[in-house]
Structure 1
Amino acid sequence: MSNTFSAVVVDDEPYSRDELTYLLDQYEEIEIIGEAESGEKGLAMILKKEPDVVFIDIEMPQMSGMELAQALKNMNKRPFIIFATAYPDYAAKAFRVQAIDYLLKPFDEDQLDETVVVIKDRLLGEKADEKTSPIPRLAVETDGRITYLSPNDISYLFREEKETVICTKDKQYHVKTSIKDLEIKLNGYSFFRTHKSYLVNLDKVEELIPWFNGAYQVKMEGGKEEIPVSRNYVKGLREQLEL
């Protein structure tokens, strides 16, 4: 899988469809390969073109967005589903049909940023699953010296301006490597993206604390910091943490 992904937008409202495609066009990693003004046309297009992700309006005549999502469940290459709607009351139903995110109209660019991160993380996860053996040590270069860290000793990582900060129980390491690249290297260990700027070791999570607007914070073992959990990641995080 490449670093880009293909997308189809399905919405019966021309203005909303045009607005969303315009916003998505600003992302170099997204290739819009089709638009449809109804659920029926969207289904035919998705079956033919097999996009990586589909953005679907919920309230559409004849075939609704929910019905379209149900119809996609039997695809061999089922795309990731993002609902885009003016109605917040559908959120619970959206996740029951395995949507990975839920965008509210009018579209908020910050929320769309987070949605794109969620998509990339899911696609990255599929790619990472193809790898077989995790790295035994993470090589960290700081001040001209290379330190070899056991991934199990890392509590969390976060992006700060142009650096990534790797936090263990006793020390912080500042590196130029991106969060995305470190996430790939740490595949095979219990790391989870809680926010576009944070990656946490699930084995070190002590508490999950409600915050506001559906977002949470996590408290790590032996630390005082409360790390943000974007609402886009809460469902996946709870699935990973809870039996």
Structure 2
Amino acid sequence: MKKISVLLVDDERYSREELKHLLMLHEIIEIVGEAESGETALIKTLQLKPDVVFLDIEMPKMNGMETAIALKELKHAPLIVFATAFPNFAVDAFRYDAIDYILKPFEEDRLKETITRLEERLISTTSQVEFTPPSKLAVESDEGIIYIDPNDILYLYRDDRVTKIVGKTAEFETKTPLKDFEVRLKDHRFFRIHKSYIVNLQDVSRLIPWFNGAYQLELKGHKEFLSVSRNYVKALRSRLEI
């Protein structure tokens, strides 16, 4: 079995040990090295050529974002997974083509999702076959498993403990967390615009300035406007504009 080689980068030894322990529970993962700074991460990446770098953001001197930029310039650039205690960098992180963004303290189930995504990406790269996202989104509801074409979804939002999926012709409800759908729909044109909303970018028709740096979003064929948090505006415009 081909293993996924990993370099851990974090200035806190305890955090590296915690993540290392959880990753080593997965047979497919091979920890090839550790680094406590961005500068050391670059040197070890050149030496070890890991498939993936798990990268902290808040580090002295060269922070995680700066390190990610430098890593992406390498001839054999590794995949990047940001592993941090700060959720507010998530939008910026994906602008650096990060494959995932996980938060401390690390959760086993969340890490499993990351490893699954790494397997999909690296298997695709190795076989030189382009990864094709599944054609249907499986949604577990009280009535069973419903299969939905992602192109038929306008947006998804979280209401109390229920995720609601608003389609072009029907609506669905499920207890599956919104963050799970964010991961599963990343290879389609979906984007989080608010902590409680994810939209299909293909159906966006207008972005309207609101107040305090926030915006409202208009979707084709939908009367209600959706709120865009100011924290997501810059990244959203980058995804929408040519």
TM-score by length of 1: 0.63
How do 1:134-149 and structure 2 match up within 5 A? Answer: none
Contact 1:155–1:167 (Cα < 8 Å) also in 2: no
Can you give the 5+ residue segments of structure 2 that lack an aligned partner in the other structure? 192-199, 203-242
CA distance in 1, matches of 2:83, 2:137: 32
Q: Secondary structure at the match of 2:76?
A: coil
The structure-2 alpha-carbon separation of the partners of 1:157 and 1:95, relative to structure 1 and needing over 3 Å to count, comes to: closer
In the alignment, which residue of structure 2 is the partner of 1:210?
157
Deviation, 1:238, is 2.3
* 8 A Cα contact 1:216 1:234, kept in partner: no
Residues 1:202 and 1:209: Cα distance change in structure 2 (over 3 Å): closer
Give the C-alpha shift of residue 125 in structure 1. 3.3
- Which residue of 168, 187, 190 maps to 1:236? 187
Identity score, percent: 40
Match of 1:51 in 2: 50
Q: Which residue of 2 aligns with 1:7?
A: 6
Secondary structure of the structure 2 residue equivalent to 1:77: coil
> Partners in 1 of 2:138 and 2:123 — Cα distance?
18
Per-residue deviation at 1:98?
1.4
CA contact (8 A) 2:55 2:80 kept: yes
Query: Residues of 1 paired with 2:167 and 2:136: CA distance?
Result: 7
Supply the RMSD in Å over aligned alpha carbons.
Answer: 3.5
- Per-residue deviation, 1:94: 1.0
Kept in 2, the 8 Å contact 1:8–1:33? The answer is yes
Amino acid aligned to 1:38: S
Whether the 8 Å CA contact 2:19–2:106 is kept in 1: the answer is yes
Q: Distance in 2 between matches of 1:28 and 1:208?
A: 37
SS at match of 2:110: helix
- Distance verdict in 2 for CA 1:209–1:8, change over 3 Å: same
Q: Distance in 2 between matches of 1:37 and 1:27?
A: 23
Which whole-Å CA distance do the structure 2 matches of 1:221 and 1:155 have between them? Answer: 15
Q: Distance in 1 between matches of 2:110 and 2:4?
A: 19
CA shift, 1:242, in A, is 3.6
Query: C-alpha separation between the residues in 1 aligned to 2:186 and 2:119?
Result: 17
Structure 1 unmatched runs, 5+: 135-151, 160-164, 169-199
Aligned length: 185
- 1:101-136: CA deviations, max 9, x gaps? 1111111112111111221222233346437xx9xx
